[in-house]
Structure 1
Amino acid sequence: MEDMKKRKLGDSAADDDVSTVEELRTLLDPLAKPQLVDLLAKLGSQYPSIADEIRSIASADPVHRKLFVRGLAWNTTSETLCDAFRVHGEIEEGAVIYDKATGKSRGYGFITYKHMDSTQKALKAPSKLIDGRLAVCNLACEGLSGTSTTPDLAQRKLYIGGLSPEVTSEMLLNFFARHGDIEEGSVAYDKDSNESRGFGFVTYKTVESAKKAIDDPQKTLGGRNLIVKLADSHKGRTMQAQLPAAMAPMSLPMAGGYPQPGKAYANTASVGYGYPQNMVYPDSSYPSPPTASAPYAMQNQVPYAQQVALKKDSFGLPSTTPMGMGGYPYYIPKQ
């Protein structure tokens, strides 16, 4: 009889240990995303059924099946793009993105596979030569990031200048592939004419390969000597060279009474070259010019402005006299 009571008590205690879905949601809701990820990963590694459920849910979400493909040639079509990626699995959707105004390719597109496994296969071989251009892909949710956000990118990406118009992207990649595996690279083409702009870029997978390409004395391709340097250093030099041209000249207000072209002068008006007292300076901290005192005593002397007003040239206009040092007029003694 006592054994039966103990068994019933044990069964009721076991029932109390089983949590409902609502209770579990209440416990999981305050947890941060990293905590939930760690929890599910741990459970999935211990229980195959949970791992299968995680894969099923993840595969249903397009975020794990959609690729962003950049570096496409201007003449690459959606059909050509899909043909290049169909080798990894069945494609649900794929398209090149075109500019609405011009109708021309914007140089990138998207590929969505039907299965997540196909996406993973494509990511293991992210670089593909399509229409003579080395296109690169990564998950669309990463956008322009992915492999290009690695800290050593500045040491792996090279600027290649002095290219012959006949050099194609494929020729460029084949020439520099002797130094190591290339992650991304292409000749820069004009969007309108689709002609080479005489330079390109090559991104190696390792810094060592990039250094070999820079140090290699044999840099002749298409009958021309190439310029090979880090892309960031070339970009910085270009920006510095363009800086002076971008600076707009600053116009300062003219002094009061200063003769301005195209204006007539009244015979009775005094024309002076006084320092502009109401000038507005770009920097408010710049002090306003003080009113200067006469360099020496003005006894028996006539101020310059009055002297000029008295003197007339052959056209009936006030004559001019050179300025003194510091921008102040000379004083002319009385005759």
Structure 2
Amino acid sequence: MEDMKKRKLGEASTDGETSSEEEMRLLLDPLPKPQLVHLLSKLGSQYPSIAEEIRSIASADPVHRKLFVRGLAWNTTSETLCAAFLMHGEIEEGAVIYDKATGKSRGYGFITYKNMESAQSALRAPSKMIDGRLAVCNLACEGLNGASTTQDLAQRKLYIGGLSPDITSEKLLEFFGKYGDIEEGSVAYDKDTNESRGFGFVTYKTVDSAKRAIDDPNKMLGGRNIIVKLADSHKGKSQQTQLPTAVVPMALPMAAGYQQPGNAHAGTVPVGYSYPQTVASYPPPSFPSPPTAPAPYQTQPQIHYAPVNLKKDPLGLPSTPVGIGGYPYYISKQ
């Protein structure tokens, strides 16, 4: 009898726990994400077991372990990329992304750590010098811009122009590091020749550092006066100067009664027309031919001949010499 009561009590407690879990799900399901995050973080700070459960679930998801690395040199390989990030922990996967058509690096790659703590350690020092270029990392789930996706990015990113060919990214960062902490920066290199293109970019962590770099009148680097201004202002200027050179072909209006261009040549479609379409064909209008001007009369120079002596006709008929073209002949008079 006692065992029977214990069994019923156990079943009742089990039913109570099940109904309680379902009740909790119904209560938590409509709550917004920020409120759930606040609730779980509060419980995790109070109960170590809950904190460990949250940490285990989060670490299993690659979204917390995968980093996006941008600003890589064109000659950086997957091996050199992994070697630069190995100091933060064991790497599960790492690779530089290459262009399928050209086989050349696209200037970025990915690093996936085995532990979430390793990724967090790497994010605490996001800028790394790899093969002469300052690369920057952020969580891959944050997208291409990552940590730089802030409203004041336009006020922190500078365009540096007029650089000498022997100025490397290290020299560029060393020169501009005196104004403040740099988040990202590099000399722009040609993809084919890997030579400097004479300009670069520097992104500071604060707006004040960028202002100090712009306001400093002493802008001499590598024996040259360099240009320092906001990157967005330079981009807008270059776009404005390129606009007038863009030529958009337009279809010229055709006179009525003539066939549209493009039908005489198969396979060519002139701009402004879409095919198939029916085009009415009319014979060209006939106009009266203009009168032909008579050929100019060609005059010959007048020739003078000596006087002709009259002779009697052998038959005894009176005759008169008549000259045509200067040659006399006789016409008999009857």
Partner of 2:121: 121
User: TM-score when scaled to structure 2?
Assistant: 0.70
With over 3 angstroms needed to count, the CA separation of the structure-2 counterparts of 1:312 and 1:195, relative to structure 1, is farther
1:105-184 to 2 correspondences below 5 Å: 105-184=105-184
Distance 1:34 1:112 in 2: 27
Partner of 1:89: 89
Distance 2:176 2:226 in 1: 11
Amino acid at match of 2:235: K
Distance 2:145 2:69 in 1: 11
> How far did 1:201 drift?
0.4
> How far did 1:29 drift?
3.3
Distance 2:98 2:294 in 1: 72
Distance 2:108 2:125 in 1: 17
Distance 2:293 2:37 in 1: 93
What is the RMSD computed on CA atoms of the aligned residues? 3.0
With over 3 angstroms needed to count, the CA separation of the structure-2 counterparts of 1:96 and 1:27, relative to structure 1, is same
User: TM-score when scaled to structure 1?
Assistant: 0.70
1:73 matched to 2:63? The reply is: no
With over 3 angstroms needed to count, the CA separation of the structure-2 counterparts of 1:108 and 1:313, relative to structure 1, is farther
Amino acid at match of 2:156: R
Q: Bigger shift: 245-254 or 142-151?
A: 245-254
1:1-335 to 2 correspondences below 5 Å: 18=17, 19-248=19-248, 250=250, 252-253=252-253
Tell me the alpha carbon deviations over residues 130-154 of structure 1, each in whole angstroms, 9 at most, x when there is no partner. Answer: 1110000000111213222111000
Aligned residues: 260
Q: Bigger shift: 248-257 or 116-125?
A: 248-257
Tell me the alpha carbon deviations over residues 108-135 of structure 1, each in whole angstroms, 9 at most, x when there is no partner. Answer: 1111111111111111110001111000
With over 3 angstroms needed to count, the CA separation of the structure-2 counterparts of 1:312 and 1:178, relative to structure 1, is farther
Distance 2:115 2:231 in 1: 37
Amino acid at match of 1:137: C
Distance 1:220 1:314 in 2: 83
With over 3 angstroms needed to count, the CA separation of the structure-2 counterparts of 1:215 and 1:313, relative to structure 1, is farther
> What's the secondary structure of 2:159's corresponding residue?
strand
Unaligned runs of 5+ in 2: 1-8, 259-271, 273-286, 296-334
With over 3 angstroms needed to count, the CA separation of the structure-2 counterparts of 1:16 and 1:192, relative to structure 1, is same
Tell me the alpha carbon deviations over residues 150-184 of structure 1, each in whole angstroms, 9 at most, x when there is no partner. Answer: 11000000001111111111111111111111000
With over 3 angstroms needed to count, the CA separation of the structure-2 counterparts of 1:44 and 1:309, relative to structure 1, is same
Amino acid at match of 2:143: G
> How far did 1:55 drift?
0.4
> How far did 1:222 drift?
1.6
Q: Identity rate of aligned residues, in percent?
A: 77
> How far did 1:22 drift?
4.0
Tell me the alpha carbon deviations over residues 306-325 of structure 1, each in whole angstroms, 9 at most, x when there is no partner. Answer: 9x98687899xxxxxxxxxx
Distance 2:13 2:185 in 1: 64
Distance 1:175 1:30 in 2: 54
> How far did 1:28 drift?
3.2
Unaligned runs of 5+ in 1: 1-9, 259-280, 282-305, 316-335
Distance 2:155 2:12 in 1: 64
Runs of 4+ in 1 over 3 A off after TM superposition: 10-32, 249-252, 254-258, 308-315
Whose Rg is larger?
2
